[in-house]
Amino acid sequence: MASKDPLEKPSTGLADADIEAILGSRHPDPFAVLGIHQAGDKFVARCFIPHAAAVTAETIAGKAIGELDCLDPAGIFAGAISVRKLQPIRYRARNEGGEWIVVDPYSFGPVLGPMDDYYIREGSHLRLFERMGSHPLTLEGVDGFHFAVWAPNAQRVSVVGDFNEWDGRRHVMRLRGDTGIWEIFLPGVVAGHAYKYEIVGKNGEVLPLKADPFARRSELRPRTASMTTGEIEQVWEDEAHRDHWATIDPRRQPISIYEVHAASWQRRDNGDMLSWDELAERLIPYCDEMGFTHIEFLPISEYPFDPSWGYQTTGLYAPTARFGDPEGFARFVNGAHKVGLGVILDWVPAHFPTDEHGLRWFDGTALYEHEDPRKGFHPDWHTAIYNFGRQEVLAFLINNALYWAEKFHVDGLRVDAVASMLYLDYSRKHGEWVPNEYGGNENLEAVRFLQTMNARVYGTRPGVITIAEESTSWPKVSHPVHEGGLGFGFKWNMGFMHDTLQYMSREAVHRKFHHNDMTFGLLYAFTENFVLPLSHDEVVHGKGSLIAKMAGDDWQKFANLRAYYGFMWGYPGKKLLFMGQEFAQWREWSEDRALDWNLLEYPMHEGMRRLVRDLNGTYRRKVALHGRDCEGEGFEWLLADDRDNSVFAWLRKAPGEKTIAVVTNFTPVYRERYRVPLPVEGRWKEILNTDAEIYGGSGKGNGGAVQAERDANGNVSAVITLPPLATLLLEQE
């Protein structure tokens, strides 16, 4: 009998226009034509299987239910099948080379549901990392992977990979019109496959293949595809560690951070990077022995360009493949927690690189970034700036923060480049930026993002801290959101770093003219919860290492650095030191080589390492040195104005604890009878002296203790010996 529609193939319901659209990779909704469909009281199966010469439809269990007709030699088949209801089916395809089984992805229903749509539209979905990207799934008894990606302005999105010959015609996804999310379940796909998304833009243009924004694993550079991977299977043994940090106030705990670039801390003998397991074997015991409380990694999210150090990331959800699989990083964190070490990640939600496989122009439009380059392009780094005014972008970033905390048990996020987010005119000249709705330069959308992110992290992940790298005087960075703050737990004290290093670079004879460089910071030391950072930024780009910055000859450089470390560890605020500086590496840091560990063979360098170890130990044991790091009641000046001698002295205090006096002499002059005021009479024990011989110093000191006495006027003081270029810690007995 002749068909009513001359374009319709007999009994298939598939028009030539549909076939042409499928083969031309232009069909807007393949779920409407492929798969299993009801036609009256019968069912029809339609499929596209390239290279097939004949196709038999079968149930999932393998029962034959119909032979399909070849409608196009490119691989279009269709025909009636013997089933009673819509259900998943498979095809037995054959050609002269043999036969193979294809489970039909178009015979499965959607995985995402209406509640996903609701929370995604609202911007409040906090489990996106379990719904977006690629995840192993058993659907209606069939194993495979579910894929979901946001591309609201695309005409068509396909999953392509080594499982389908990178053919965008085979696995075109289903569009969820309410959210702009495309999804598909691909039966038979297992972990370990490379994949990307092939996207046709709104004007019909085929875009460069895109990596998955939510990919949890990526290929090793220079390859750029995402990888299917299973869920993290880690037997966590860190309950005691996490419970501790979830139940205390971190402002009143010792926090001493070792900042690490994982690719260059140490390397194998052949120059290759260490794996996470090798890092765990070496780095964790080292930090534990050195007395640090936390390891902070420069960004470990996937990034294409080694010299970016990870700060230009293309895969926020994927631990970089440079060090192995994601499970390796989970094992590292678990191992660190077992010995009481926290793990902090540098996190980059401010901007992203413009590599064509990344987020820029993702669906043919400015999706993740602002379309206006005055808000969407960073002139310093030539990167794209996230559109913080878009709910989907905020959800992408906030979920990422929650993801690292939940799936990998990280203890904190240090948020990079916060200042660049807060100011619309950051690094821009007049006319190159767009004022906010009130005419100001504050990026109100970024403010709301940071507040929301911090509120979510602190509200749902007890024990996790956030730290802002913020270099301006923006108020209340580390104050709660409900008090008008940004909600961070801590803020890097960039002023301390800048002023004190500037002072230390001056010859001792000139320091009396710059005394305020060392005292000014106490005017604002308790306005925020500060971390004192001697970070990677200070030892690159021609700045030299910390030891190289110090004034004087080699002996004075070492003595200056020892005195400076003692000054810093006695100063209010949490501590951060970049790798290599603990043993006074001479060379400027480079990301393409290991640290100069051979320097530890020399006594001056080994002495510096011992000093940092002992400073950490003293800082952790003595509550007076950390218990009120962020509160003014924990600090009291003893000598703030002895600029002629370049001497500084203060007290560190905590309720119910023994008081500690910190005294620093920043000149090479040995002072035998220097009088220091002290709060009470009696014996004060010298608990640390940076000039001790074990640290490479001259061995000058006070024989282990000094005696404070009251004079006729009622003033209490002690006559002490001040070693040259040294810091003393004296504890009340």
d(CA 214, CA 206): 21
pLDDT digits (tens, 9 = 90+) for 630-651: 999 999 999 999 999 999 999 9
The DSSP result for 401-419, as a single string, is: HHHHHHHS---EEEETTHH
pLDDT at 144 over 90: yes
Residue 194's contacts (CB-CB under 8 Å, 6 or more residues apart) are 161, 162, 219, 223, 225, 226, 227
Where does CATH 3.20.20.80 sit in the chain?
Answer: 253-467+477-492
- Which DSSP symbol is given to 219? P
Across the chain, what does the average pLDDT equal? 95
pLDDT digits (tens, 9 = 90+) for 29-59: 889 999 999 888 889 999 999 999 999 999 9
pLDDT at 10 over 50: no
The DSSP result for 421-479, as a single string, is: HHBTTTT--TTSS---TTS-SB-HHHHHHHHHHHHHHHHHSTT-EEEE---S--TTTTS
* pLDDT, mean of residues 477-489: 97
Identify the pLDDT of residue 255: 98
Enter the CATH code of domain 253-467+477-492.
3.20.20.80
The DSSP result for 567-619, as a single string, is: HHHHSSSEEEEETTGGGT--SPP-TTS---GGGGGSHHHHHHHHHHHHHHHHH
d(CA 661, CA 647): 13
* pLDDT, mean of residues 570-594: 97
d(CA 145, CA 150): 17
Read off φ and ψ for residue 396, nearest 5 degrees. -60, -45
* pLDDT, mean of residues 153-171: 95
d(CA 48, CA 35): 9
* pLDDT, mean of residues 536-544: 90
Q: Which two tokens stand for residue 637?
A: 């000046």
pLDDT digits (tens, 9 = 90+) for 281-291: 999 999 999 99
- Regarding the domain delimited by 16-107, which CATH topology (the fold level of the hierarchy) does it fall under? Immunoglobulin-like (2.60.40)
The vertex-58 CA angle with 56 and 63, nearest 5°, equals 120
Identify the pLDDT of residue 393: 96
**Contact in structure between 250 and 236 (CB atoms under 8 Å):** no
pLDDT at 233 over 60: yes
Identify the pLDDT of residue 11: 55
pLDDT at 691 over 90: yes
Where does CATH 2.60.40.10 sit in the chain?
Answer: 16-107, 114-228
Nearest Cα to 73, choosing from 57, 90, 95, 56? 95
Q: Which residues are catalytic?
A: 416, 469
Nearest Cα to 131, choosing from 115, 154, 151, 108? 115
**Contact in structure between 616 and 286 (CB atoms under 8 Å):** no
SS3 label, residue 367 = coil
d(CA 78, CA 55): 9
Identify the pLDDT of residue 28: 78
Q: Return the biggest CA–CA distance within the chain.
A: 124
pLDDT at 1 over 80: no
The letter for the amino acid at 666 is F
d(CA 174, CA 627): 56
SS3 label, residue 681 = coil
Nearest Cα to 530, choosing from 488, 486, 499, 567? 488
**How much of the chain, in percent, has pLDDT values that exceed 70?**
98
pLDDT at 122 over 90: no
User: Cis (ω within 30 of 0) for the bond into 222?
Assistant: yes
Cα–Cα distances in Å, from 410 out to 86, 204, 336, 443, 581?
45, 43, 10, 29, 24
> Within its chain, how far is the Cα of 600 from the centroid?
31
Enter the CATH code of domain 114-228.
2.60.40.10
Decide which of 12 and 451 is more confident.
451
**Contact in structure between 494 and 533 (CB atoms under 8 Å):** yes
pLDDT at 12 over 80: no
pLDDT at 2 over 90: no
d(CA 621, CA 729): 13
Nearest Cα to 356, choosing from 210, 151, 192? 210
The letter for the amino acid at 234 is Q
Identify the pLDDT of residue 457: 97
The letter for the amino acid at 578 is F
Identify the pLDDT of residue 318: 98
d(CA 516, CA 495): 12
Read off φ and ψ for residue 251, nearest 5 degrees. -65, -25
d(CA 563, CA 391): 50
* pLDDT, mean of residues 388-398: 96
